[in-house]
Amino acid sequence: MGRATFDNFQDKFLTIEFPTVVEPFPWDVTREGEDITFTLGAGEDEKSEVHKTTDVRKFLFENFNWNGIVHFMHLLSDKNDNFTYTRPTDLKGIPADDDILIIPDEATEAIIYEQAKYAIETTYADAPADNIDNILNDVDGKAKTDFSSDILETTYEDLLKEEDNTAMEYDGQSFAMVNLQTASETELYDFLKNVMLARNGLWLEEDGLMNLVSIRREMVTSTTEDVGFNDSMILAWKDGGVKKIKQYIATTEPWKINKKNGKMLPQTTNMFLGLHKFVSSKVIIPAFRSKNVYRKKPQSDDNKLESNDKGLDIHFKLISNRKPVGIPTAVDSYGVAYNRNNVDTYYGDDREAYLTVVKIYKILSDWGAGNTPKSISCYKNLENYTKDFTLSGVLGSTDTDKKIQIKDGENVEKNIKLSSYQAYVGAKYASNKNDAVKLLMYHHEQSNDGTLESSYDDTAIADVLKELKKEEVFESIVKLQFHEEKNFDNVDGQPGGGTITKLNRTTVQKTNDTNTYNEKVNKATTDLNEITNAFAVWDTNTVLPEDLKNRFQNTVKMVANDLDSKAVTTIDNFGGKEIDDNVSGWSTGCQVIPGVQEFFHFMYDITKYIDSTNQERWYYTIIESSSLGITLN
């Protein structure tokens, strides 16, 4: 056996290499108050940078819609061991409070942490100590598109849209589409809440706080390529703990078939009190506006999204081309916004003025006189129902100057001339003996003179007309027109089809008409008091110039004639309403309610609890019916 030498030993044993121990690269993220401190490196190489929770949060608000933020929060919670996200249930629609609930401070810290971790362990994993400045530069608290793809492992676009979300289950509970007409308010409230939450939306639970959801049907178009009204816009809230629902017909995608205007994608966005200016005129009205909405790019079939800087707004569509002449028509004449931009939120006296306008228009929209073209304003019609007008006897000495006067106290409201009556009935009934006799018989019934209708069987039409033109018959016919009537356009001494219809009513119809009339008289007293009080609020408002206050009141009182324009609706197979009326091609990305009356009722309903809730922001969710497993068209 050979003897081992030192050289042999060295060859065999001293060439062994032991593993090098690598110290972990030191870094840390801590938060104190609004400060998030990112520290990295050691000794002389140590550096740190402070980020603000408010800045991290602000970036998300400015670059995501609400469903995108909620989706982002859930994915971030799955990624970060120190952050667990629960969607808030105590939102109040007040931005300063809600913002911190939706994006808690812990989330902003987690964003900084995940950025730092990715930069240190992935981007600069080979030599983090040599890239301290690069790492600090990468960790900026701005969750850009690469944060979505690299860290959350999704795409920025997929976070923003709910177009492909067909979930019919939330929190382990499944739900099904309900009939929008036959479902109870509780059933519909619960359905909307569940489907909205399943699509990463936000819901307000407290009494008086308004949730806004729209259900979009399949697009219906006409030959002019405009979108028709076939969507449902629904308010959901609680009143004393009782679940309440109010539905409106609308369109949520007025974009042309040629895709010139970008389509609003299913999403949850925010809504604020704002203004809408009609492109074709200088008319400005109260509306809802959004600052951050995402849609398909114009003239594109893909799902790439863009921020719509003009925002989305909810406004009305005039029916039958009626012009809202009661709405001030100069850009600077609408007091609530005389120095405002379209997407501002309204507070204090400014908001008070805004809501006063909404209330006034809502009340007046119920008082259209019902004739077109309208020669009486909604305000005048309302005012008339609160007055006790009187009818004079026949005044004057000759047929030429004889007349009956409608009077408001000592003021003469209208003169109705006998000569005009005689000319009208002579022409109108020259070949219509039956209706002429009906008018005569009404006079005889009021006179109780015992005349029988059969006594006219053999009377020539010329003799019937001669009797019909008599002064006492004229007086009876004007009294018939005047009975239970406050729109004196209809009291004209020209007894046409409307007067004959009044004569032909059954006893039941007369009773119903009387009840309706009495209800309107009672409602008028209440409504006029509210209008008067609203004008008083407007008068004392501190943000409006006096000339503007006066101009608005005079405009509303004198020429607000068409605030009641609306359309006839039909019901679809799931209980939704639709109308055959097209949306203007100018409505680029708007959400449009047909008819001024419907719109101002919507605006009033959605803002009516503001004084008690102080709600400043509304969360609006657009849902496509196709995602609910049904087809509505």
For residues 590 and 314, the answer to whether their CB atoms sit within 8 Å is yes
Tokens of 147: 């944060």
Low-confidence ranges of the chain (pLDDT < 70): 1-22, 219-228, 254-262, 275-285, 291, 296-349, 370-375, 548, 551, 555, 558-589, 631-633
Q: What is the pLDDT of residue 623?
A: 92
β pairing state of 577-582 and 231-239: unpaired
pLDDT in tens, 57-66: 999 998 899 9
Integer Cα distance of 286 and 275 in angstroms: 5
Number of Cβ within 10 Å of residue 437's Cβ equals 20
Tokens 């069987």 belong to: 457
Q: What is the pLDDT of residue 380?
A: 87
Number of Cβ within 10 Å of residue 134's Cβ equals 13
3-state secondary structure of 605: helix
pLDDT in tens, 281-314: 445 567 777 767 777 666 666 655 555 444 455 5
**Which amino acid is present at 418?**
L
**Domain boundary assignment for the chain:** 27-160, 169-324+565-628, 388-485
Q: What is the pLDDT of residue 323?
A: 36
Q: What is the pLDDT of residue 310?
A: 46
For residues 271 and 617, the answer to whether their CB atoms sit within 8 Å is yes
Q: What is the pLDDT of residue 368?
A: 78
- What is the rounded radius of gyration, in angstroms, for the C-alpha atoms of the chain? 36
Helix, strand, coil proportions of the chain in percent (round to 5)? 40, 20, 40
- Spatial neighbors of 194 by CB under 8 A, at least 6 apart, are 170, 173, 175
Q: What is the pLDDT of residue 10?
A: 55
Q: What is the pLDDT of residue 273?
A: 81
Integer Cα distance of 324 and 563 in angstroms: 6
Q: How many CA atoms lie within 13 A of 446 on its CB side?
A: 16
